[in-house]
Amino acid sequence: MPRTVDHDERRSMILEAFMRLAAREGLHAVSLRGVAAEAGISLRLVQYYFETKARLMQSGLTALETISNERLSARLQSLGPSPGARATLEAYFAVALPTDRESRQFHLLWTSYAMLAMTDPEISDRTFVDGPDRQQERIASLLEKGKSDGAFHAALDSEIEATILISLIHGLGTAVLVGQQTAERAFASFRHHLDRLTAEASGKPDRDRQRSE
Protein backbone atom coordinates (compact mmCIF):
# COMPACT_ATOMS: atom_id res chain seq x y z
CA MET A 1 0.00 0.00 0.00
CA PRO A 2 1.56 3.36 -0.98
CA ARG A 3 2.57 5.70 1.82
CA THR A 4 0.26 8.70 2.35
CA VAL A 5 2.09 11.96 1.72
CA ASP A 6 1.91 14.57 4.50
CA HIS A 7 1.93 17.74 2.43
CA ASP A 8 2.25 20.07 5.42
CA GLU A 9 5.28 18.12 6.64
CA ARG A 10 6.87 18.25 3.20
CA ARG A 11 6.25 21.98 2.86
CA SER A 12 7.82 22.52 6.28
CA MET A 13 10.84 20.44 5.30
CA ILE A 14 11.37 22.56 2.18
CA LEU A 15 10.96 25.81 4.13
CA GLU A 16 13.45 24.66 6.75
CA ALA A 17 15.95 23.84 3.99
CA PHE A 18 15.33 27.25 2.43
CA MET A 19 15.95 29.06 5.73
CA ARG A 20 19.14 27.09 6.46
CA LEU A 21 20.48 27.87 3.01
CA ALA A 22 19.47 31.55 3.13
CA ALA A 23 21.02 32.05 6.57
CA ARG A 24 24.24 30.37 5.46
CA GLU A 25 24.68 31.91 1.99
CA GLY A 26 22.35 34.92 1.92
CA LEU A 27 18.94 35.42 0.33
CA HIS A 28 20.48 36.70 -2.91
CA ALA A 29 22.27 33.37 -3.44
CA VAL A 30 19.20 31.17 -2.94
CA SER A 31 17.72 29.29 -5.90
CA LEU A 32 15.03 26.63 -6.14
CA ARG A 33 17.68 24.16 -7.28
CA GLY A 34 19.84 24.99 -4.28
CA VAL A 35 16.90 24.53 -1.90
CA ALA A 36 16.13 21.16 -3.50
CA ALA A 37 19.72 20.04 -2.96
CA GLU A 38 19.67 21.29 0.64
CA ALA A 39 16.44 19.37 1.32
CA GLY A 40 17.64 16.27 -0.52
CA ILE A 41 14.68 16.22 -2.91
CA SER A 42 14.09 16.93 -6.59
CA LEU A 43 13.73 20.39 -8.07
CA ARG A 44 10.36 19.33 -9.46
CA LEU A 45 9.09 18.72 -5.92
CA VAL A 46 10.12 22.18 -4.74
CA GLN A 47 8.38 23.69 -7.79
CA TYR A 48 5.26 21.61 -7.09
CA TYR A 49 4.83 23.16 -3.64
CA PHE A 50 6.07 26.71 -4.24
CA GLU A 51 6.20 27.19 -8.05
CA THR A 52 8.59 30.16 -8.01
CA LYS A 53 11.41 31.57 -5.88
CA ALA A 54 9.25 34.60 -5.04
CA ARG A 55 6.49 32.40 -3.60
CA LEU A 56 9.03 30.38 -1.65
CA MET A 57 10.52 33.54 -0.20
CA GLN A 58 7.11 34.91 0.79
CA SER A 59 6.28 31.61 2.48
CA GLY A 60 9.63 31.74 4.27
CA LEU A 61 8.83 35.19 5.60
CA THR A 62 5.48 34.00 6.98
CA ALA A 63 7.21 30.97 8.51
CA LEU A 64 9.70 33.21 10.31
CA GLU A 65 6.94 35.06 12.17
CA THR A 66 5.22 31.77 13.02
CA ILE A 67 8.44 30.32 14.42
CA SER A 68 9.03 33.44 16.51
CA ASN A 69 5.50 33.26 17.97
CA GLU A 70 5.94 29.57 18.76
CA ARG A 71 9.22 30.25 20.58
CA LEU A 72 7.56 33.00 22.59
CA SER A 73 4.60 30.77 23.49
CA ALA A 74 6.95 28.02 24.68
CA ARG A 75 8.91 30.51 26.77
CA LEU A 76 5.77 31.91 28.37
CA GLN A 77 4.43 28.43 29.15
CA SER A 78 7.65 27.67 31.03
CA LEU A 79 6.95 30.64 33.33
CA GLY A 80 3.68 29.21 34.61
CA PRO A 81 0.03 30.26 34.30
CA SER A 82 0.36 33.90 35.46
CA PRO A 83 3.90 35.21 34.91
CA GLY A 84 3.03 38.90 35.27
CA ALA A 85 3.63 41.81 32.94
CA ARG A 86 7.33 42.31 33.66
CA ALA A 87 8.23 38.61 33.34
CA THR A 88 6.32 38.48 30.06
CA LEU A 89 8.21 41.50 28.73
CA GLU A 90 11.51 39.86 29.69
CA ALA A 91 10.38 36.71 27.86
CA TYR A 92 9.73 38.81 24.75
CA PHE A 93 13.25 40.16 24.93
CA ALA A 94 14.86 36.78 25.66
CA VAL A 95 13.20 35.20 22.62
CA ALA A 96 14.19 38.09 20.34
CA LEU A 97 17.84 38.08 21.44
CA PRO A 98 20.05 36.09 18.99
CA THR A 99 21.74 33.80 21.49
CA ASP A 100 21.38 30.37 19.83
CA ARG A 101 21.34 28.93 16.31
CA GLU A 102 17.60 29.35 15.77
CA SER A 103 17.38 32.91 17.08
CA ARG A 104 20.51 33.99 15.17
CA GLN A 105 19.07 32.48 11.99
CA PHE A 106 15.82 34.33 12.57
CA HIS A 107 17.56 37.67 13.09
CA LEU A 108 19.83 37.22 10.07
CA LEU A 109 16.96 36.29 7.78
CA TRP A 110 14.59 38.98 9.05
CA THR A 111 17.24 41.65 8.48
CA SER A 112 18.05 40.25 5.03
CA TYR A 113 14.38 40.26 4.09
CA ALA A 114 13.98 43.84 5.29
CA MET A 115 16.89 45.01 3.11
CA LEU A 116 15.63 43.07 0.09
CA ALA A 117 12.10 44.47 0.45
CA MET A 118 13.49 47.94 -0.20
CA THR A 119 14.42 47.01 -3.78
CA ASP A 120 12.46 43.87 -4.71
CA PRO A 121 8.80 44.55 -5.59
CA GLU A 122 7.97 40.85 -5.08
CA ILE A 123 8.76 41.10 -1.36
CA SER A 124 6.07 43.03 0.49
CA ASP A 125 7.51 45.72 2.75
CA ARG A 126 4.24 45.79 4.73
CA THR A 127 5.37 42.69 6.62
CA PHE A 128 8.16 44.70 8.23
CA VAL A 129 5.65 47.26 9.45
CA ASP A 130 2.66 45.05 10.28
CA GLY A 131 4.64 42.46 12.28
CA PRO A 132 6.38 44.95 14.61
CA ASP A 133 3.12 46.92 14.88
CA ARG A 134 1.37 43.82 16.22
CA GLN A 135 4.22 43.22 18.64
CA GLN A 136 4.16 46.82 19.79
CA GLU A 137 0.41 46.61 20.43
CA ARG A 138 0.94 43.50 22.56
CA ILE A 139 3.68 45.25 24.55
CA ALA A 140 1.46 48.30 25.10
CA SER A 141 -1.29 45.98 26.33
CA LEU A 142 1.15 44.32 28.75
CA LEU A 143 2.18 47.72 30.08
CA GLU A 144 -1.46 48.61 30.64
CA LYS A 145 -1.90 45.34 32.54
CA GLY A 146 1.20 46.14 34.58
CA LYS A 147 -0.24 49.54 35.43
CA SER A 148 -3.51 48.01 36.63
CA ASP A 149 -1.58 45.42 38.69
CA GLY A 150 0.61 48.09 40.26
CA ALA A 151 3.80 46.86 38.60
CA PHE A 152 4.22 50.10 36.63
CA HIS A 153 3.39 53.71 37.38
CA ALA A 154 -0.26 54.58 36.74
CA ALA A 155 0.70 57.69 34.76
CA LEU A 156 3.03 55.78 32.43
CA ASP A 157 2.29 56.35 28.72
CA SER A 158 1.99 52.78 27.47
CA GLU A 159 2.12 53.73 23.79
CA ILE A 160 5.35 55.69 24.12
CA GLU A 161 6.97 53.10 26.38
CA ALA A 162 5.98 50.32 23.96
CA THR A 163 7.73 52.25 21.19
CA ILE A 164 10.86 52.53 23.33
CA LEU A 165 10.79 48.86 24.31
CA ILE A 166 10.31 47.58 20.75
CA SER A 167 13.24 49.78 19.71
CA LEU A 168 15.37 48.31 22.49
CA ILE A 169 14.41 44.77 21.46
CA HIS A 170 15.34 45.33 17.81
CA GLY A 171 18.38 47.52 18.39
CA LEU A 172 20.00 45.43 21.10
CA GLY A 173 19.24 42.26 19.14
CA THR A 174 21.22 43.60 16.19
CA ALA A 175 24.02 44.74 18.51
CA VAL A 176 24.33 41.21 19.90
CA LEU A 177 24.18 39.67 16.42
CA VAL A 178 27.14 41.70 15.14
CA GLY A 179 29.11 41.32 18.38
CA GLN A 180 28.89 44.94 19.53
CA GLN A 181 27.13 43.84 22.74
CA THR A 182 27.10 40.60 24.70
CA ALA A 183 23.77 38.96 25.41
CA GLU A 184 24.34 39.53 29.14
CA ARG A 185 24.98 43.24 28.64
CA ALA A 186 21.95 43.60 26.37
CA PHE A 187 19.70 41.87 28.90
CA ALA A 188 21.07 44.05 31.69
CA SER A 189 20.25 47.17 29.64
CA PHE A 190 16.70 45.97 29.00
CA ARG A 191 16.17 45.13 32.67
CA HIS A 192 17.61 48.51 33.66
CA HIS A 193 14.89 50.24 31.67
CA LEU A 194 12.20 48.04 33.23
CA ASP A 195 13.69 48.80 36.66
CA ARG A 196 13.11 52.50 36.03
CA LEU A 197 9.46 51.87 35.21
CA THR A 198 9.12 49.68 38.30
CA ALA A 199 10.90 52.21 40.51
CA GLU A 200 8.43 54.90 39.45
CA ALA A 201 5.54 52.60 40.36
CA SER A 202 6.95 51.88 43.82
CA GLY A 203 7.78 55.51 44.49
CA LYS A 204 11.53 54.78 44.71
CA PRO A 205 13.84 57.17 42.86
CA ASP A 206 15.83 55.56 40.08
CA ARG A 207 19.61 55.80 39.99
CA ASP A 208 19.61 58.63 37.45
CA ARG A 209 17.39 60.75 39.69
CA GLN A 210 19.53 59.93 42.73
CA ARG A 211 22.65 61.15 40.94
CA SER A 212 20.98 64.43 40.00
CA GLU A 213 19.93 65.23 43.59
DSSP string, 125-178: TTHHHHHHHHHHHHHHHHHHHHHHHTSS-TT--HHHHHHHHHHHHHHHHHHHHT
The yes-or-no verdict on residue 209 having pLDDT over 60 is no
Question: What pTM value is reported for the model?
Answer: 0.75
| Percent with pLDDT over 70 in the chain | 88
Q: What is the CATH number of the domain that holds 38?
A: 1.10.10.60
Same-domain check for residues 72 and 166: yes
- Considering the domain boundaries, does residue 15 fall inside one? yes
Give dist(CA 105, CA 121) in Å, integer: 24
Beta-carbon contacts of residue 87 (< 8 Å; ≥ 6 apart): 79
Number of domains in the chain: 2
- Considering the domain boundaries, does residue 59 fall inside one? no
Give dist(CA 8, CA 20) in Å, integer: 18
The yes-or-no verdict on residue 210 having pLDDT over 70 is no
Local confidence band at 163 (pLDDT 50, 70, 90 cut-offs) = very high
- Full residue range of the structural domain in which residue 108 is found: 64-208
Same-domain check for residues 82 and 120: yes
- Considering the domain boundaries, does residue 171 fall inside one? yes
- Considering the domain boundaries, does residue 130 fall inside one? yes
Question: Per-residue pLDDT tens for 96-150?
Answer: 899 888 888 888 888 888 887 777 777 766 666 777 788 899 999 999 999 998 8
Amino acid 68: pLDDT: 83
Buried b or exposed e, range 14-53, using 16+ CB within 10 angstroms: bbbbbbebbbeeebeebebebbbebbebeeeebbebbeeb
Least confident of 65-79, 138-152, 193-207: 193-207
